[in-house]
Structure 1
């Protein structure tokens, strides 16, 4: 028997925002096409010089010939708005970082073949590679005196006794042998996007800023993580690490450490239970800001802003009562910091004073994830001028570069319009907010519905719900190439921040604890669809469901609870939590934080949360779309659902994406492929159209 929510169960749905005026004149603009995806570009890694005069950023463009993302460096003169390429060639660029005196810019690039740190002198327009290392540097940090650049880089671990003892016969000259076996002995041995990991550890290095030998400051079988914060006298660096013997099992633990530049002597600065990370040194060197997160075994925690005063040796929490998770602390001056956080589906920058004052500067960060409307974005601070540069987003544009003064109610100045050449000539779907009550327990849910170009308010439209991943992530009113494509094909697209989503506080994020996926988030989605039906927008005879990762799980679970959908499209789903947790790269933290015990101890709990437990009810035609190299939700999960539905003789198609990991849309052609397979599948099951 189907476990279906009835119409009476959605009677509590409450519309909290009126729909916009729907009438639109026919437009001469064309619709957003699949080919338009390749034309999109966006700003990222925005970095403003400390004196506030220049902004450098990474301009990311899709390359149709290589099906990849090109990353070039562009420079903006803040006063005039002049926008010029700094390095826009066939090499790739990243990690732009200004020296403290604003005269030099460090960045990473593969200009010479291998990824190295380069320094650019602004006045003379001179460029030099300052490292000659064999791995990829990241997390660059200039010393306050400008003499050094610190960075992190992976280094190979020594072979274990077992690996050393394995006899390997000498290969004859000219012989062609199979690839050597790979020995796996590490607890954390795989990572999505990389596959089986080489045995390496992340170490801290320093190199003279005018070039020379990179010197390793940390050692040992531990990962040492940035960002790297310098002492103001350039004598030492502060970083985050877990240097306990059992660190691989302690997924929620890390401490702050200090390493002396000359002696490489290590000192542990914090030892609190939980994770201390993201250190930032104050401009006068008296205070260290950092973030702390609890290590309690639960799936969601807020990051809290901590201040340690070196003179008093006392630490305290700023904004202790703020029920939001703070990120990227940066010092604005001796008495104020800036932080980034998400709040009710918007990404914001705020100023926090050492006296605990707090005010928002802007709420329009985002646009660096352009395929779906995930909250995203980043910012940079110029302490000398009090300006903030950031990635600026709207519902109709990916990230541009903007600048704003760090004052309450200040107005941002958007300095680029990277997609005017394409999106100015496209009729995009309108993005409209909606709030309603979930039929499960009356919880308020925020969502958005996108109306197709040339929407006719006198018609009902086929409507799809598209569910975000995580589940501890969030969507927002920001540009989404996939959703615009669905709307261009005539679908109303509904998406929401169901229970478990971030940006609404810890209690809301924890509402799915132990029930992901379940009838609870299912009710959040169905109540929104029923509201759109009541508004006369959605066609009740043409409802569709789709989602990726956690959204793929919710999609697979939903079709086991109801037959109301004409068709479903699940990307990267989990079908069986027992097999998933024991094969995926996330097993260490996920079992500890999301389940009451090991799979063999809590078999019933794992099974009841698995879409496979309700597969007997499924009659909905289901498309499955997964990368063959996915290590977060391995393709064996997709195969289980595909074979189960085939055994039940339910219409099913499995789309396997070669060489793709969990980020199955990492290449532009795969953004297109995901959408176009879904559109074709859904149109196959349209009724009365």
Structure 2
């Protein structure tokens, strides 16, 4: 592991602080009281991993109980019991009155990847009698695997990879099971050679709606529909027949309708679609559906019905903020309900009082739980998981700015100064690029910005075309054009901020990004020598080979308008390797060993090319790690990755310049 003794202001965020950050999420409010279950992601230094802890706050004891590692799934309708899953995949019921748990059933999880928005949830029936859950049919070991041989006959034969995860799919199908809340033998509701996910009960406890891709080639064709199963007759009915993808259905309180998220593109992807999701509404008996939120022209997520059935609440990102909105089922009128500043990532609804419990973060604070009172007139913070860590920290605010890009498109960015900023000094600048390509930067906590700020760098980050939060046309900005308009947006943003801030040193620039941000970092070093150092994290370098080796082969098809294997010329045109001979920028390449989303070979191709060209280059592989800055990245590897990033910039941005 690299030394973490990097020069940084103690007032800012330090690498050693990363292990102390606790991330809060998944709030579940009791249907009859203020009892609340939620999840805390915390580092276990001895085990070198992050744990998801289930926390229970009860009004009766006014205390906090940690139920263990795992996930809280659902409250019983009367609020007396909590369904949760421990780290071993066992479903348990926690009984509030006796503070005791009882084992319910063993659940199995397939390593087959469906998509990022697929919910692997377990839910209590409205009448309290049954629990529906998703579990995989685990196949027995095949003979050829005993002899070190793997035989593949499907396209999605890889998994997401990562620590303690298999690299190849077990090809197990995930189905819906039913078990009595008091225990017993489970019943399989949806047998067959298809996967089901994202389940929701009908209010009369008779049906379960779900999402399934039942096309002829579900590995290849990313399309899905809403279905329902009758728990008594086991009859399965298809409710939608549309071109596109469906996600996360939610049954209306009166049982008449089902709301769900949907896209309508003819070419879908299991990764990062350009098309924004919108709320669709369909009769619970099926037929045609209508969209409710098209007037907002933003990407919709996390939908919840109001108990009256008159409104549906949801989150949507808008120009760097993520807020809670509501849409009228009757007239499709959309209004912001809560937010306007910061990032609300999840919420649950207090159905009796019309208030919310929600997860919110901002630029200077990781996620915490909050609750609204009096229809949002009062906001109270529930958790203080990071208060002690941040009480002695002085983190810089990021100031937003807008600029006009090369084609007069207005683009938003942010500038964060160094922690120990003095107006009369000159400071180096790091361009930080988000992934996706359809992610959105904004008023959310990103530790990389603060680590760089504490190390003496200013940080600029931009939402170039392709980012969500600015409408569908803007989100479409990368289609057939990776490294085109978005690259020019980023360069225009850097030019703008240098021109407006004389305290920035234009001769000391660095660039970094993860995933698509890593791709863009690779692209930038093949296009310009203005940056003195680059750090590419989990980035793509060759779109042709990526199309044939990634878990997300469908991404190339959705972004480049058709079968990727018929468009190699187009994919090569936008590959950093195509122009790598022009690169002179010292480049640090960071990548996970078991990354199947952006395979490690993408890093190898870029590394070997730069090394052959004599460019100062280093490749760092993280053993057992998958893709990205996810919670499963071990604390020690995360610390190492950040320390290497800062030391690379210290070496090549602060103290040296490129010789051209």
Say yes or no: TM over 0.5. yes
Residues 52 and 387, structure 1, Cα contact 8 Å, conserved in 2: no
The residue that corresponds to 1:65 in the other structure is 46
Gaps (5+ residues) in structure 2?
1-7, 111-118
- Is structure 2 residue 339 aligned with structure 1 residue 363? yes
- CA shift, 1:365, in A, is 8.8
2:636 is matched with 669
- Residues 312 and 632 (structure 1 numbering): CA distance in 2 closer, same or farther, change over 3 Å? closer
SS of match in other structure, 1:685: helix
2:305 to 310, 318, 331: 331
Q: Secondary structure at the match of 2:378?
A: coil
Q: Is the 8 A contact 2:535 2:587 kept in 1?
A: yes
Q: 1:506 aligns with which of 447, 457, 472?
A: 472
> Which of 48, 69, 73 pairs up with 1:96?
73
Structure 2 counterpart of 1:586: 552
Q: Distance in 2 between matches of 1:574 and 1:32?
A: 29
> CA separation in 1, counterparts of 2:55 and 2:572?
51
Normalising by structure 2, report the TM-score.
Answer: 0.90
Partner Cα separation in structure 2 for residue 637 and residue 115 of structure 1: 34
| 1:84 alignment partner, one of 46, 64, 67 | 64
Gaps of 5+ in 1: 1-26, 169-177, 367-374
TM-score (norm 1): 0.86
Pairwise CA RMSD: 2.5
Q: How does 1:127-526 map to 2 (within 5 A)?
A: 127-133=101-107, 135=109, 138-156=120-138, 180-193=148-161, 194-226=166-198, 228-251=199-222, 253-297=223-267, 299-310=273-284, 315-334=289-308, 335-355=310-330, 356-363=332-339, 377-405=345-373, 407=375, 410-438=377-405, 440-518=406-484, 520-526=485-491
CA spacing shift, 1:441–1:404, aligned 2, 3 Å: same
**1:325 to partner: Cα distance:** 2.0
Kindly state the Cα deviation for residue 182 of structure 1 after the two structures are TM-superposed: 2.1
How far apart are the structure 1 equivalents of 2:564 and 2:345?
37
Q: 1:423 to 1:543 in 2, by over 3 A?
A: same
State how far apart, in whole Å, the 1-side matches of 2:480 and 2:320 are. Answer: 24
CA distance in 1, matches of 2:183, 2:617: 58
User: Contact 1:403/1:412 (CA < 8 Å) preserved in 2?
Assistant: yes
User: What is the aligned counterpart of 1:601 among 566, 570, 578?
Assistant: 566
Q: How far apart, in 1, do the equivalents of 2:45 and 2:535 lie?
A: 26
- Partner SS for 1:305: strand
In the alignment, the residues of structure 2 paired with residue 521 and residue 33 of structure 1 have an alpha-carbon distance, to the nearest angstrom, of 31
Distance 1:528 1:244 in 2: 44
The separation in 1 between residues aligned to 2:408 and 2:362, in whole angstroms, is 30
Q: Larger deviation: 95-104 or 416-425?
A: 95-104
Q: Is it true that 1:545 corresponds to 2:545 in the alignment? A: no
SS in 1 for 2:294: coil
Deviates more, 1:305-314 or 1:351-360: 305-314
Counterpart-to-counterpart distance in 1, 2:391 and 2:61? 21
Residues 29 and 661 (structure 1), Cα distance of their counterparts in 2 relative to 1, 3 Å cut: closer
Aligned residues: 628
Indicate the larger mover: 419-428 or 275-284: 275-284
Distance 2:284 2:602 in 1: 51
Tell me how far apart the structure 2 counterparts of residues 615 and 596 of structure 1 sit (CA, whole Å): 25
- SS of the residue corresponding to residue 196 of structure 1 reads coil
Greater Rg by CA: 1
**Separation (CA, whole Å) in 2 of partners of 1:86 and 1:435:** 45
